[in-house]
A and B are shown apart, each in its own frame.
Chain A
Amino acid sequence: MAIVGQQLTAPESGWRRYDNTDSRIKYTGTWSTTTSVPSRYFNSTIISTSLVNDYCEFKFYGAKFRLISWYDSNISTSVDVIIDDVTYNFSLYNATTIGQILVFEKLNLTLGVHKVKIKNNTTKVMSIDAIDIDSTGYLAHPILNQISDINSMQIGDCIPCRYTATTSGAAGYFSELGSCIKDEIPVTGSATPDGLFNLIKTAKGTLIADRVIQTNISWDVLNATKYIEGMRITECVDGIAFASPNTATDDKTPNKAFDRDLSDTGNWYCGTGVLSQEGYLGYIFNNPKVIREIWLRPHNNTTYSSECFKNFTVEGSNDTTTGRDGTWINISSGLNMTGIVQFDVFKLNNETPYKAIRIKGLTQGRGYIQISECYMFSNDKIIRSLSGGCAYIDANGDLSLTDKLLGAWPINNDWDKYIVNSDLRGKIVKGDDNIWHFNLGCLCKETPVNSMVRYDNVTSSNAKRIMRGILGKTNILKTYFDISNVTSTGYGFRPVLNYIESDIASEVI
């Protein structure tokens, strides 16, 4: 096990390492990045300050922390590390210059979220090369309140999410909403991202990504994937499984149908070998949910796959406690599984939230019903692109064909309304680059109006689409457009996630 003063060019077992470039480390003061001695520093870069009281800060979830920096003979001799308001001090002095040194460590913290501030007390160089924390831990958002359950979010909170796109120029998919702890997608951009980004709640039912999650992708490709106007995210709902009393008591519990393990041989089965007995399988949710889609897979041995739900009913209840009691309302009937070993997809014409849903049918074959997988989906989330206006705006709030440096028109577009002008109910400074990461521009939904002229005298056309944030954090009002099939390392996809909040769920189709 490494000790302070030792070189540590990679995290030890049980640790994970974040580079100084991670966007969740917030630097205050005058910091500069050195890349001139790449072999000395972790991931070739280090960030440094030589001013008194300059600091960096971050939050992490975990129980231990290590700072990786470098030793030198002409360096800061007094650095404060303040963990949850307790201050520790150390020096970076060493006669010999060595990089990737474990310069500070604190173990045995209570497992939880900790605030760390690292401050320079001298006019000599203090640097951050990397930080190591628990391998099961993660950096949290440095400013915003980070939440793992989307239904608990208030405006100004954020939730992590994973985005994976393995082919440059092609759109990817979203996963791990609320649970992602992977390394981040760099705010400087990636054409083939696979990592974490944050979604920030800006309004009811509305989360906006805190960075461009993919570059080198065109508006046309995003549109073909429905990520411009809205792609429905098929996300599984969680719950507690239950089944009818004639369920087998060995290892054929209803949990076997909800384990989301496609490779296992575990099934739920009910029945006693008598035909046309009624059996049911269901889920009780922690909060009433609107279930719009159910996937069912029969026994994964084709010999028994016909012992599945045929001519079945889907029912919902708001007063059941065990799944076997209470009043049940018919949501859909006359549905049939194919009896082939595959997922059968059932879209329900249901808009009502229920505390529990069950699938009810009669035994088949040798007198059983056997289900290997059951997925329930609310399909209440979509991913789309931001609106950014279709023209410039003038001082009267009217359409302008030339840039008045006041933003875009119509005024209520997402970019101007939330990213430029919202302080998220006092939680941020509006338009803050630390929140919105304006390193890259983003593709927006709109087509520029005819005769709109860009700052560089290029005129709009019907084949072009609007982009915002192209010119960095000092030009966030600027509006740009380019042809819809063009790609660039300088702009890309910044998603919005819209979801149905529970208080209006029964009023949304």
Chain B
Amino acid sequence: MATVGQALTAPETGWRRYDDTDSKILRIGSAFGTNSDTGNYNGNSSWIRGDSPLTTKFSFKFKGSKIRIMSIQNANGINAKITIDGVSEIYSCYNSSSIKYQIVAYEKMGLANDVHVVEIALNAVGLSTQFIWLDAIDIDSTGYLLHPTLNQIADFSQVRNLGDCIPCRYTSLTSGQVGSFGELGTCIKEEIPVSSSATPDGLFNWVYVGKDYHGRKKFIADRNIQHSISWNTLNTAGICSEKTLDLGLGNNYISSVRLLTGGISPTDTDNEWDKYIVSSTLGGRITAGDNNIWKWNVPPVSWTSTTGTTSTQRVRRGYNNNGAGRYDNPTSVTSTSTIDVGFRPVLLVEQLVFDKFLIKKDSQYYSIDSKYYDELTHEFIPLTLAGGADPSGIDIDTFGFDSLLPFITTMTKGSDTFRPCDKLNNSQIKYYKKK
């Protein structure tokens, strides 16, 4: 078993490794750089320069119980401060002799098997010739990095708020062909690189951007999930119009996939790319146009469904240092370029019919979810409804429970064991059929 100070060029059994280039590792601040020596894991390692502010940091979240940080160590290395769930420790990037790669610079075992928030920064400001590095992160083989900023959901039925994201796997093993989606909510595979792939097989995120006119939940992929694929190929797969697909959500949902609209001209900002990717703060949860969320500042340029002025070409958006709103020249529907054309889908999910229940006692409404049970007062807490005195459609979505069985089933919270019906006796059951 490896120990701190040792080189570890691959994760040990029971561990998995994430490279420093994984987009789930956020960089906050500036004066980041890359060391491209071949001794690094995957040939690169990220650094923070020693004279950066102490607020400059790597930031990520992982689910797991253990973590190792792999780093370069050399004579220019100084101390890094790693903070896990608010508790800080120091690790060294210094080695007096020649440069060493993929050193286990830090290790923490025995954490609760839960989501942990990690930051890595300079321990103290140093010189511009000094560095701390991050080459790779090892965690439990059954663990995973989460989206660093958005609220990541595993169960689709829990998607509620703008900016919620849900991971998904996309696989297309043949270049130039549309692939298949799976593992919605459960995918923990390595990500499809933000610069995409001709033959992707990995994780990306669907970001929830609100409902469409039909009341369907609309999601946008947080990257191009495939490049080198022509608009014609996407059209033959039904994706340039709208194509239903099975995401494993069951019969109560209909899911479909299509492309974004992109504006008929550079001055036409009334289209989905501008509305969501350029302009939306997703209910105040993100900075509008944030490249960390939407990953537009890297090729390929995304296909849209929109025709501009030439009927055999389609509008493409994204990839340019000029910002999220970049409107590229439309290109031929036959193009299969690696950097010029990418597939960034929209997902629409319609929930067909669903039963929801609430409990009404006197004039108050209650849910029987344990988070609405107060252990101190030993009672359920009356709900604060967006609809005021009576629940609105959103309240029913947020608080309504799907089955009556838990109402009469014993549950435990803290030191209390009880049946919800006994706590809420002489109450009314309110049933809502949502369609």
Residues of A within 8 A of B (CB): 203-206, 219-220, 223-224, 226, 228-232, 349, 351, 387, 389-391, 399, 409-413, 445-447, 449-450, 461-463, 465, 483-485, 498-501, 503-504, 506-509
> Taking CB as reference atom, which chain A residue is nearest B350?
A204
Whole-angstrom distance between the Cβ of B405 and the nearest chain A Cβ: 28
> Taking CB as reference atom, which chain A residue is nearest B308?
A223
C-alpha spacing A503/B213, complex, angstroms:
11
> Which among B149-157, B177-185, B204-212 touches the partner chain?
B204-212
Q: Is A410's CB under 8 angstroms from B243's CB?
A: yes
Instruction: Given A447-B333, A504-B393, answer yes or no on A206-B241 (Cβ-Cβ < 8 Å).
Output: no
C-alpha spacing A392/B334, complex, angstroms:
21
C-alpha spacing A485/B215, complex, angstroms:
34
Whole-angstrom distance between the Cβ of A451 and the nearest chain B Cβ: 9
Q: Is B311's CB under 8 angstroms from A205's CB?
A: no
Known: A446-B240, A449-B232, A504-B215. 20 other contacts (CB 8 A): A204-B215, A220-B311, A223-B264, A228-B307, A230-B270, A232-B270, A390-B235, A390-B236, A390-B241, A410-B242, A410-B243, A412-B244, A412-B256, A413-B241, A446-B235, A463-B311, A465-B311, A484-B307, A498-B213, A507-B394
Q: Is B213's CB under 8 angstroms from A204's CB?
A: yes
Chain B residues, Cβ within 8 Å of A220 = 311
B228 CB–A CB distance under 8 Å: no
C-alpha spacing A224/B214, complex, angstroms:
25
C-alpha spacing A228/B238, complex, angstroms:
17
C-alpha spacing A504/B211, complex, angstroms:
7
> Hey, what's the 0/1 contact readout for B229-247 against A, CB within 8 Å counting as 1?
0001001101011111000
Instruction: Given A223-B264, A226-B264, A498-B213, answer yes or no on A410-B241 (Cβ-Cβ < 8 Å).
Output: yes
**Which residues 229-287 in B have Cβ within 8 Å of A in the complex?**
232, 235-236, 238, 240-244, 256, 261, 264, 268, 270-271, 275-276, 279-281, 283
Whole-angstrom distance between the Cβ of A187 and the nearest chain B Cβ: 26
Q: Is A462's CB under 8 angstroms from B241's CB?
A: no
C-alpha spacing A228/B261, complex, angstroms:
11
Whole-angstrom distance between the Cβ of A469 and the nearest chain B Cβ: 17
Could you name 7 residue pairs across A and B whose Cβ atoms are closer than 8 Å?
Answer: A351-B283, A410-B244, A413-B241, A485-B311, A504-B211, A507-B210, A509-B162
User: Which single member of A205, A411, A413, A449 contacts B213 (CB below 8 Å)?
Assistant: A205
User: Which single member of B215, B238, B392 contacts A399 (CB below 8 Å)?
Assistant: B238
> Taking CB as reference atom, which chain B residue is nearest A412?
B244
Chain A residues, Cβ within 8 Å of B276 = 509
Q: Is B311's CB under 8 angstroms from A462's CB?
A: yes
Chain B residues, Cβ within 8 Å of A224 = 264, 309
Instruction: Given A503-B392, A503-B393, answer yes or no on A229-B232 (Cβ-Cβ < 8 Å).
Output: no
B74 CB–A CB distance under 8 Å: no
Chain A residues, Cβ within 8 Å of B240 = 390, 446-447
Whole-angstrom distance between the Cβ of A482 and the nearest chain B Cβ: 11
B306 CB–A CB distance under 8 Å: yes
**Which residues 3-32 in B have Cβ within 8 Å of A in the complex?**
none
Q: Is B213's CB under 8 angstroms from A500's CB?
A: yes
Instruction: Given A390-B241, A450-B236, answer yes or no on A462-B334 (Cβ-Cβ < 8 Å).
Output: yes
Q: How many residues of B contact A (CB 8 A)?
A: 41
> Hey, what's the 0/1 contact readout for B315-339 against A, CB within 8 Å counting as 1?
0000000000000000011100000
Q: Is A229's CB under 8 angstroms from B241's CB?
A: no
Chain B residues, Cβ within 8 Å of A409 = 238
Instruction: Given A390-B241, A446-B241, answer yes or no on A203-B392 (Cβ-Cβ < 8 Å).
Output: no
What 8 pairs across the A-B complex have the smallest Cβ distances? A205-B213, A498-B213, A410-B238, A484-B311, A462-B312, A503-B393, A509-B210, A463-B311
C-alpha spacing A503/B312, complex, angstroms:
40
Chain B residues, Cβ within 8 Å of A399 = 236, 238
User: Which single member of A223, A231, A387, A449 contacts B235 (CB below 8 Å)?
Assistant: A449
* B interface secondary structure, majority: loop
Chain A residues, Cβ within 8 Å of B392 = 503
**Which residues 186-217 in B have Cβ within 8 Å of A in the complex?**
209-215
> Taking CB as reference atom, which chain A residue is nearest B232?
A450
C-alpha spacing A461/B213, complex, angstroms:
31
C-alpha spacing A203/B264, complex, angstroms:
27
Q: Is A390's CB under 8 angstroms from B211's CB?
A: no
> Taking CB as reference atom, which chain A residue is nearest B217?
A507
Interface centre among B241, B242, B306, B311 (most CB of A within 10 A): B241
B305 CB–A CB distance under 8 Å: yes
> Taking CB as reference atom, which chain B residue is nearest A497?
B213
Chain B residues, Cβ within 8 Å of A485 = 311
C-alpha spacing A226/B305, complex, angstroms:
13
> Taking CB as reference atom, which chain B residue is nearest A502?
B393
C-alpha spacing A229/B334, complex, angstroms:
21
Whole-angstrom distance between the Cβ of A228 and the nearest chain B Cβ: 8
C-alpha spacing A230/B268, complex, angstroms:
12
C-alpha spacing A33/B212, complex, angstroms:
46
Q: Is A229's CB under 8 angstroms from B312's CB?
A: no
Instruction: Given A204-B215, A223-B307, A503-B393, answer yes or no on A509-B238 (Cβ-Cβ < 8 Å).
Output: no
Interface centre among B211, B275, B393 (most CB of A within 10 A): B211
> Taking CB as reference atom, which chain A residue is nearest B333?
A462
Chain B residues, Cβ within 8 Å of A504 = 211, 215, 393
Chain B residues, Cβ within 8 Å of A230 = 261, 270
C-alpha spacing A231/B270, complex, angstroms:
8
Q: Is B312's CB under 8 angstroms from A463's CB?
A: yes
Interface centre among A224, A390, A509 (most CB of B within 10 A): A509
Q: Is A390's CB under 8 angstroms from B238's CB?
A: yes
Q: Is B209's CB under 8 angstroms from A506's CB?
A: no
Q: Is A205's CB under 8 angstroms from B215's CB?
A: yes
Q: Is A508's CB under 8 angstroms from B270's CB?
A: no
Q: Is A506's CB under 8 angstroms from B214's CB?
A: no
Whole-angstrom distance between the Cβ of A250 and the nearest chain B Cβ: 39
> Taking CB as reference atom, which chain A residue is nearest B216?
A204
C-alpha spacing A483/B311, complex, angstroms:
9
Q: Is B214's CB under 8 angstroms from A508's CB?
A: no
User: Which single member of B241, B281, B306, B394 contacts A387 (CB below 8 Å)?
Assistant: B241
Chain A residues, Cβ within 8 Å of B281 = 349
Chain A residues, Cβ within 8 Å of B232 = 449-450, 462
Whole-angstrom distance between the Cβ of B149 and the nearest chain A Cβ: 19
Chain A residues, Cβ within 8 Å of B306 = 229
Chain B residues, Cβ within 8 Å of A349 = 279, 281
C-alpha spacing A167/B214, complex, angstroms:
34
Instruction: Given A220-B311, A387-B241, A387-B242, answer yes or no on A499-B213 (Cβ-Cβ < 8 Å).
Output: yes
